[in-house]
Amino acid sequence: MTLPRRPGLLLAVLTVLALAVCVLMPDVVAPHPPDAIDPAAILRPPGAGHLFGTDQLGRDLFSRVVHSARAALLVAVGAIALSLAGGAVVGLASGFAGGWLDGLFMRAADVLLTFPPLLLALGVVAVLGSSATNVAVAVGFANLAPFARLVRAQVLHLRGRPYVHAATLSGVSPPAILFRHIVPNAAEPVVVVALVSLGAAMLASSSLSFLGFGPRPPATDWGTLAAAGRDYLGSAWWLTTFPSLAVVVTVLAATTFARALRKGRS
């Protein structure tokens, strides 16, 4: 690959590596424990001692952002994994079975698509109660319908491709056609959409956390950190800025990968 010639992609790769380190070994990256209170250093602006500054209890914001990475990413990735798995099952069943099953699934998808994903996720949280797991389930559920539709559309499109017809005439059995020809060809567009949705899931889940439906204290993710900084809007800008930046950088990395993949395909 020509990574050095594509600075955007290079940055995205570096971001993902950095995030991976934060998720796997936060203690190595973070200079302080995330909940270490320092009364001598309350609401310090970003500087040498504290890269992202400190909060109203003197806790190091950088360490808190690093330690929140795992929760934030787990929720977003879990949500997309859920909608991908559910969407694949529903979409494949719908595309292959057709008939009443297809009709039922697609009408159900229509109803789900009636509600904007964030509101749907709010509704699920309303039913299930607020917690990190429930946010993941809620966001995953909210994104299920688009995946089901995409997978179904791919199946229908690919089933009509001449090369699938050719494989049938070459004596290839239906299951082999599914796994050798249809799934590999359908996978790429689905992965592209999954990456884009990962960004959207990140945004939705952090918004839910910001509204107070996310992990319960003392657990934190980027959304709850930003929400906690709201009380110091005028005096401590860093409290909302850095957790939000973490979200933006993650979303941009996912989008960049999706774009690179889409470009590489055409």
117 in contact with other proteins (CB under 8 A):
yes
| Location of structure tokens 């999706």 | 258
- 7-24 and 238-265 helices, crossing angle to 10°: 120
Rounded least distance, CB 19 to other proteins, Å: 15
195 in contact with other proteins (CB under 8 A):
no
Distance between CA 98 and CA 174 in Å, rounded?
16
Distance between CA 164 and CA 174 in Å, rounded?
10
Peptide bond into 218 cis (omega under 30): yes
Distance between CA 240 and CA 233 in Å, rounded?
8
Distance between CA 251 and CA 237 in Å, rounded?
21
Rounded least distance, CB 65 to other proteins, Å: 14
118 in contact with other proteins (CB under 8 A):
yes
Selected range binding other proteins among 18-26, 62-70, 73-81, 161-169, rule: CB under 8 A: 161-169
162 in contact with other proteins (CB under 8 A):
yes
Options 13, 38, 115, 157; binder of other proteins; rule CB under 8 A: 115
Per-residue exposure over 202-230, b if at least 16 CB sit within 10 Å of its own CB, e if not: bbbbbbbbbeebbbeeeebbbbbbbbbbe
234 in contact with other proteins (CB under 8 A):
yes
233 in contact with other proteins (CB under 8 A):
yes
238 in contact with other proteins (CB under 8 A):
no
Options 61, 88, 151, 167; binder of other proteins; rule CB under 8 A: 167
Please say which residue, 96 or 232, places its beta carbon nearer to other proteins.
232
Phi-psi region of 221 (alpha: psi -120 to 50; beta: other; left: phi over 0): beta
Q: Which residues bind other proteins (CB under 8 A)?
A: 107, 110-111, 114-119, 122-123, 125-129, 161-163, 165-173, 176, 180-181, 184-185, 199, 203, 206-207, 210-213, 223, 226-227, 230, 233-234, 237, 240-241, 244, 247-248, 251-252, 255
